[in-house]
Amino acid sequence: MRVKHSIKSFNQLLTLSLFLFLLTTPIFAQQIDNVDEAFLEARELAFDGKRAEARELAYAILEIAPDYHGVRILIARTYSWDGLYDQSREELAYVLEDTPDHEEALMASIDNEIWSGNPEDAVKFANEATSYYPVDVPILLKSANAHHAAEMDREAALILNIIDQINPSNSEAMALRRSIRVSGENYRLTGSYTYDHYSEVFSPAQKGYVQLSKRTPIGSVIGRLNYGNRFETTGFQPEIDFYPSIADGWYGYMNIGYTNSSIFPEFRAGAELHKRVPSGFELSLGFRYLKFQNSDVMIYTGTITKYQGNWLFTLRPYVTPSSVGSSRSLNLLARRYFTGPDNYLTFRGGFGFSPEERRFQDVSGDVFFTESQFIGIDGFKSLSINLALFLSFDVARQELSFSPGDYTEIYTLNGGLQLKF
């Protein structure tokens, strides 16, 4: 009788447990009125160390919204934190099968493989991620860490160099660089030649430069020698650019140049402060100063830049005060990256004068107050790991400073090579 009673009690207990299990899940799901709010609650639980409870709530959310990938990635993250790497892989594979370019899933996969002791697999995920997001700093940081974990320090250093081009003051990149045994390429030698053809009045003009850039612990330094041949006159102008790293998310730009040649400003200087802000934006504010033989010009400028996937968009205005009013100009840029910052296509356009173009019609500085419009396209292509080629073509319509209302068209072809070592 005792055996029959025990069996009966066990069956009753099992039935009650099954009933409660079947009853609990639907009730839990029914209690979720807003999946987004429930997701935030699950995140709080996970970050408070209550990972099992976070997963329970997250799975309940998936009962309502099975393709809520952010929830599934949170589950995968909690599995990784608990050392359950296979379970994490399974959840992340579900997301990537549906959305192969899911940024958060790719980054979580890189972390999961590094933590599980599979850095080679982490590198595979990193290479896949950078093929989708070649200039995304968080992705690039994950990739550098993956290569470092796989003892591929040279590749990691090169990735950090890419990050320096995008955000020179990134503290995580600086910290990782200190732990890497090699420095990668710290020098870039660039040579460029430009030919300007004018539709009328002026004979063709030529200009170019040779520059050497050096990466230093406090920022990149660039020495440049400009060459110009216009109006049957040849001249040179040396100048230096410096991009100091100031603090995390902050970096600067400084420029100075001097010459006694009449076809360049006698003296040029500039400074600009850049700040990375959330959501892939960067803002800057600064000035350019140009001194000519008979006048000097102060130009105020800044940028609003947005990184969006494989694209970079930049808006840069210039404001030039004078005794007769302010001259305003605007440059727009859209750049499509392909396999990194050394492979891209840029579309440009704008109106007014840009002091960055180093094109001057009149050494008095009157060019700043003439009408002009331009469009252009340029490409930058890596030929090998150390060598890159760049080409550009621009069309500008420029009012003549000595004949208001009359215009000349300027067709500009530019090309050059860059060597990294």
CATH number of the domain residue 202 falls in: 2.40.160.60
Count: domains in the chain: 2
Torsion of CA 174, 180, 185, 186, to 10 degrees: 40
171 and 198: one domain? no
Domain end marker among 135, 161, 178: 178
128 and 277: one domain? no
Domain end marker among 124, 152, 178: 178
336 and 405: one domain? yes
What pLDDT score does 31 carry?
Answer: 67
The structure tokens listed for 118 are 């599979």
The structure tokens listed for 373 are 């419009």
What pLDDT score does 197 carry?
Answer: 94
Query: Of 214, 200, 217, 208, which is closest to residue 237 (Cα–Cα)?
Result: 208
| Residue whose pair of structure tokens reads 């109006």 in the numeric block | 231
Whether the Cβ atoms of residue 270 and residue 253 lie closer than 8 Å to each other: yes
DSSP state letters, 291-322: E-SS-EEEEEEEEEEEEETTEEEEEEEEEE--
252 and 272: one domain? yes
- How far apart are alpha carbons 5 and 107 in whole angstroms? 56
Helix, strand or coil, per DSSP, at residue 285: strand
What pLDDT score does 317 carry?
Answer: 94
Whether the Cβ atoms of residue 343 and residue 379 lie closer than 8 Å to each other: no
Whether the Cβ atoms of residue 35 and residue 64 lie closer than 8 Å to each other: yes
158 and 293: one domain? no
C-alpha distances in Å from residue 369, one per residue of 52, 291, 349: 67, 16, 18
384 and 291: one domain? yes
Query: Of 418, 316, 312, 298, which is closest to residue 368 (Cα–Cα)?
Result: 298
172 and 204: one domain? no
152 and 221: one domain? no
Whether the Cβ atoms of residue 233 and residue 263 lie closer than 8 Å to each other: yes
44 and 160: one domain? yes
The structure tokens listed for 11 are 């069956």
Helix, strand or coil, per DSSP, at residue 325: coil
- How far apart are alpha carbons 165 and 157 in whole angstroms? 13
Sign of CA dihedral 258, 262, 264, 267: positive
Q: Which domain holds residue 386?
A: 187-420
Helix axes 137-149, 119-132, angle to 10 degrees: 160
C-alpha distances in Å from residue 126, one per residue of 18, 121, 146, 171: 44, 9, 7, 20
Whether the Cβ atoms of residue 257 and residue 268 lie closer than 8 Å to each other: yes
Helix, strand, coil in percent for the chain, rounding step 5 = 35, 40, 25
296 and 400: one domain? yes
Q: What is the number of alpha carbons within 13 Å of residue 242 lying toward its C-beta?
A: 14
Tens of pLDDT along the chain (421 residues) come to 444 455 555 556 555 555 444 444 444 444 677 889 999 999 999 999 899 999 999 999 999 999 999 999 999 999 999 999 999 999 999 999 999 999 999 999 999 999 999 999 999 999 999 999 998 999 999 999 999 999 898 899 889 988 988 888 888 898 898 888 666 678 999 999 999 999 987 889 999 999 999 988 788 999 999 999 987 889 999 999 999 999 888 999 999 999 998 888 899 999 999 999 888 899 999 999 999 877 888 999 999 999 887 889 999 999 988 766 677 889 999 999 887 778 999 999 998 766 665 454 444 445 455 678 999 999 999 998 889 999 999 999 988 777 777 888 999 999 999 998 8
> Which residues, listed in sequence order, are joined to residue 348 by a DSSP beta bridge?
333, 376
> Which residues, listed in sequence order, are joined to residue 392 by a DSSP beta bridge?
378, 414
Whether the Cβ atoms of residue 42 and residue 74 lie closer than 8 Å to each other: yes
Torsion of CA 145, 150, 154, 156, to 10 degrees: -10
Tell me the whole-structure pTM to 2 decimals: 0.74
54 and 96: one domain? yes
What pLDDT score does 41 carry?
Answer: 92
Whether the Cβ atoms of residue 302 and residue 284 lie closer than 8 Å to each other: yes
CATH classification of the domain holding 13: 1.25.40.10
Torsion of CA 91, 92, 98, 102, to 10 degrees: 150
Domain end marker among 155, 178, 201: 178
- How far apart are alpha carbons 166 and 145 in whole angstroms? 17
The structure tokens listed for 303 are 């940028």
| Residue whose pair of structure tokens reads 């594979």 in the numeric block | 93
151 and 240: one domain? no
| Residue whose pair of structure tokens reads 């209302």 in the numeric block | 405
